[in-house]
Structure 1
Amino acid sequence: MEAKTFNTKKGMTGLGRGLGALLSDSGSTDNENVIPRKAESPGSMNEILISSIVTNPYQPRTHFDQEALQELSESIKILGIIQPITVKEETPGRYILISGERRLQASKLAGLTKIPAYVRTADDQQMLEMALIENIQRENLNAIEIALSYHRLLSEFQLKQEELGDRVGKNRTTVNNYLRLLKLPDVIQAAVRDNEITMGHARALINIDNNETQIKLFTKVIEESWSVRKIEEEVRRLAAIGAEEVKGKNQNTLKQEISSLQFRLQGYFGTKVQVKADDNHKGEIKIPFASKDELDRILGAIKVNQD
């Protein structure tokens, strides 16, 4: 059940020119679809025909629990709408929902034809920000929906992560943690969205570079109900194995390079040559000689004067 309370005081979290300013910015309406009521805040509140409202194209929520909607609908039948929705007047008699889609859907289920609403002015960015903030503050969005909303704000409105963090009241690290979720395979993102795994599980899986390995580990997480700590331990184990494999490959490559160099030097000097090097490519080259004549020949090959 969704509890709603009025709060249109200025000084709320700033979004663009301020969410408080947006919520106190009234839009006058005098068409037949609106029945004015006494304002209960600096912004006017009206009753609007539900049929005149279209959903918010910037709504960050993509999933609505039908059972929860039905519960909210039953509550609305008994108590009515405790907190009005927020809309933007697109054209006379036509409104775009800014926030309150659960209330709108539940009101339709309850058989209402009109709904109390604040009529505001907002551009596209402000509409997305307001819808995002409202849901985040009520903790109704899942982590993937938040990540997608952050991505839209960054990509569509050219915000920097610091600016986005200021707008949504989160630090840059938190914003980045959400955005990283979008790098996960679709099946894992869907599991986060559907609450099959937590954001903590997902963040642990992000630290695996290979998508195929991520999915294999995710399957174990689901089948064996792994905790976040269990995933983190497994990720560290895989990382250690990967590091050893890389080290082994590097050592093999170095041995091959040394062997090739040693063979070419022996052919150039016409004598046995020893080449040694460590993992940091530090080492030495030894060219033994058995006589002065052999030394002279070697020095001649490297063009060293013997004055």
Structure 2
Amino acid sequence: MAKATKKQALGRGLSALLKDPENDIQSVSDKNADKVIGNVVELDLGAIEVNPFQPRSNFNDEALEELASSIRELGIIQPITVRKLDFNKYQLVSGERRFRASKMVGLGTIPAYIRIANDQESLEMALVENIQRQDLDPIEIALSYQRLIDEIEVTQEKLSDRVGKKRSTITNYLRLLKLHPIIQTGMRDGFISMGHGRALINIEKKKDQIDLYENVVSNSLSVRETEQLVKAYQESKKDPSLLNKKVQVSKETPGYISKGIDSLKEHLSAKVDVSTSANGKGKIVIPFHSKEEFQRLRKLLTGE
């Protein structure tokens, strides 16, 4: 407890130092810079602005409420990171969820690591840190990669080294940006996965992408089924009539069903149909043709 109190007091002391115009630190070579860089400093929330380079654009309200509740009970466990813009003025590099949740709780200050960085360095730090640490959706990751390539002017090979990802992985993410914006939104909202998106990329016409996307969502197709759908579409030589009806794709029967259905048929002495959806849910259909057959099946199933 004593160590925590001492650390917090140190943060407040450094905060006072930063508010002194005579000790305005602008570079790592300035007086007292070594006391600030690498230490946790309590900064006024009002002195911090959000990072325009932040790749995350969607912040789940419920998740923010949960984080705010945690901060209300336990405080900020992990400091945010900021860069110094001017005297007593800072910009977020990482930690926007913690920053937002702290404002929701009504905190006046927040613990922060201060860095000295120019715009390009700040962009790179924000994008790389978010790619590696945050639960970004595939489109947000793809946009982050594209911004690094465009604004930092790096090749995919150099980007691969900087973010620690294979070049093929980066290429697969970047290809998602070729999808129709509606499909990109569907991926961000969780209606389809990256695997679905990668299959739909192979459809050149955006309108046809949308038609097949709607088929995938409405029929809860798995990634494999989506790949089969795209293949069937391509083999049809883009027959427009294919897009106006449900395309039948072969569904793989899970192993546990294949192993159990025969014994179920034998036990009931009846036909049994089993269907499953992409999310693992399913239904069992046992047809009957008379009242007597229904009563027989009911007795077998319930034991009554």
* TM-score (norm: length of structure 2): 0.66
1:241 correspondence with 2:236: yes
Percent pairwise identity: 50
Deviation string 1:115-144 (CA, Å, 9 cap, x unpaired) is 000000122232223222332333411111
Q: Distance in 2 between matches of 1:183 and 1:194?
A: 17
Q: Is the 8 A contact 1:58 1:128 kept in 2?
A: yes
Structure 2 residue corresponding to 1:31, chosen from 19, 28, 35: 19
Number of equivalent positions: 216
Structure 2 residue corresponding to 1:52, chosen from 14, 30, 47: 47
- 2:154 aligns with 159
Return the offset for 1:243.
Answer: 8.9
Structure 1 residue corresponding to 2:59, chosen from 55, 64, 70: 64
- 1:105 aligns with 100
Please state whether the residue corresponding to 2:18 is helix, strand or coil. coil
Q: Distance in 1 between matches of 2:205 and 2:51?
A: 37
Alignment of 1:148-297 (within 5 A): 148-242=143-237
Cα RMSD (Å) = 2.7
Q: Is the 8 A contact 1:88 1:119 kept in 2?
A: yes
Deviation string 1:239-285 (CA, Å, 9 cap, x unpaired) is 222299xxxxxxxxxxxxxxxxxxxxxxxxxxxxxxxxxxxxxxxxx
1:132 correspondence with 2:127: yes
- 112-121 or 42-51, larger mean C-alpha shift: 42-51
- 2:73 aligns with 78
Q: Distance in 2 between matches of 1:159 and 1:28?
A: 40
Deviation string 1:79-113 (CA, Å, 9 cap, x unpaired) is 10011000001001110100000000000011101
Q: Distance in 2 between matches of 1:152 and 1:104?
A: 23
Alignment of 1:114-133 (within 5 A): 114-133=109-128
Structure 2 residue corresponding to 1:143, chosen from 138, 143, 146: 138
Task: Give the letter aligned to residue 116 of structure 1.
Answer: P
Q: 1:96 to 1:139 in 2, by over 3 A?
A: closer
Q: Distance in 2 between matches of 1:188 and 1:29?
A: 50
Q: Distance in 2 between matches of 1:238 and 1:100?
A: 44
- Bigger radius of gyration: 1
Task: Give the letter aligned to residue 178 of structure 2.
Answer: K
Unaligned regions of 5+ residues in structure 2, if any? Answer: 1-13, 24-33, 240-304
Please state whether the residue corresponding to 1:81 is helix, strand or coil. coil
Return the offset for 1:201.
Answer: 0.6
Q: Is the 8 A contact 2:81 2:94 kept in 1?
A: yes
